Structure 1
Amino acid sequence: MGLAVFAVRPGNAVPTSQKTLPATDSATTPHRTRLYLKDGSYQIVMSYRISGKLVHYISAERDGAEEEVPLSLVDLDATHRWEKEHSPDQASDTSASPEPPAIDPELLKEEADRASLTPEVAKDLRLPEQDSVLVLDTFHGAPELVPLSQNDSDLNRNTGHNILRAVINPLSSPHQVAQLKGERSDVQLHVASPVFYIRVGDDTVPPTGGTPLTVDTHGASNAIKTDPASSSASDQYVITRADVRTGVRDIASFRIGLLGTGQSQEDIVETTSEVLPGGHWMKLTPKQPLDFGEYALMEVISDKVVNLSVWDFGVHPVAPENRDIIKPEPKRPLTLERRRPE
């Protein structure tokens, strides 16, 4: 016949049925814990187990006596919570690797969006926010970003994105469609495979106030209009080799319909395009190395329309360094400065 057990706070007598257990080796002695009761009191025990409607425990306060208490009087939630908070393993894990603070997903997204505006294109070299078209060059073994200006012989040079639309007759033979002043571009690259970066979807391009222009394209439509606009990720770009003559560089037409077919065209180098994460920049890579000479990067707007406002450059490995370049900026290590007492 079992005896009723009445739980009280430590230090008070607890009438219960009990029997003394043999002493155990210190290496196998259970860890002391608290068995909480629903009235807020607790017993310090070496171990406990639930058997039906009773909880059997070994008292740490009464020399290892085995006692029992009705399960209905035991607060198991409080008991488990105390065990979790005071577990030696839990304490060591918490001190060794505390949980990092939670970061708002919206803040992470905003930070990723900001970083995508100025992506890294080489070690410690990032694209800027203010320029629309840049080219990655290498000078004396170091990477550099060179801004490219648009040149259409009729409008002032600018580093924005002007569009001078020209409809090219797909059946006409190659002929001059644009003429650039000077025999040499201000920008001279030093590598045969430069990489171009074009800002796309940029709503910050300021209006130029341009008015419609009429340009003689020798067989193309003369309904030409200039307007400021940003590049689209769907636009194509080709590199055309300029025909250098006295005081000018001539740009010839080409067969737009042959682009992407694998058929080569004289003085035309096609490019592969890739939109960088974030959708703010497009990366253009020539499909073949560029020989020494003068070139222009031309935008193909549709299957019949090109942008005659081109970005001109040359390829000459021994040319001097370009102006207004952007160089890598290594991150400076954080240092603590000594402060003198005031």
Structure 2
Amino acid sequence: MHRIFKRTMKLQKLGFLVCLGALSLGQNVAGQSSPGQSPNKDQAYQKDKYALPRGKKLMLKDGTFQLVRSYERKGDRVRYYSVERGAWEEIPAALVDWDATAKTEAAEKSEEEAFASKVHTQEEANRIDTVMDVDASLQVAPGVFLPPGEGMFIIEGKHVTLLEQAGAEIRADKKQFFKQVLVPVPIVPGKRNVDIPGSHAKIRITSSNVEFYLREAPPDPVRSSPIEKSSRPGESGPEVELVRATVKGNKRLLESIKSFFGEQMEETRKTMSLQRWEIAPTVYRFTLGEPLPPGEYALAEILPDGMNLFVWDFGVDPASGAKAAAPPKK
């Protein structure tokens, strides 16, 4: 009996120790899991702490305010919907500082409008800076969008027109050639003319103040560009000149090139003042430095090897109702 009693006592002690160990292990597990949950709770608390509900401030004379969705004054009482408690409440109108409420509301409205304007400006700047796709439209003025694709566009008011390229030709000047034949000593320089077939361009405008936009695709050896060039392109962006053409018969003269003993000496062309602005990658804006008088014009890209023989031509017609200049009195 004594042995059985001792064995029973040992089993009871063993069971007690097992229970004690399990209890201690459970506490450790709980202690280990709580730190893992604490950051989430803290983050949620911080998020709730700063995520204030949106509403108006009903300023009180004691310097505090009620955050309300709306409010209305009824006699000597003010009824408002509390954003914090989500219910309609009433307080005496005498407790409300109406001047402070109006000033606070006006200040918050002004801040919201300024913030919205700032965001809009940043979005517009980011949108322009990231216009990399040549097939994406681009806003160049309020309500005016540059169509997708490459090319030279002319902006006349709200109208956008894609200019077509015309192929210019180089011809020997006949008068200068006859001079060279008549003079036996080769002292008369040669002369060649660059002209466009036809006396008038197809595209006509009436405004003397227009803008031009050139959109090119990023360099791609696989893709062929619709913009034609008579020699290799430049490496520092397009150098474009606005040339006023001289109508001679059924041609429009753009440039005269003089050479001597096979060496080019001089290039002569009538150019108008033009400024270039890069408004986005591979998108360039050209603005006039002076109004355009009626006449024939061509936008020519100046390449390292000379003027591109494929030019964008257009004509300026007198505005309707414009009076012709009176002849000088004798």
TM-score normalised by L of structure 1? 0.45
The structure with more helix, counted as a fraction of residues: 2
Which structure is larger by alpha-carbon Rg, 1 or 2? 2
Higher relative contact order (CA 8 A, sep 6+): 1
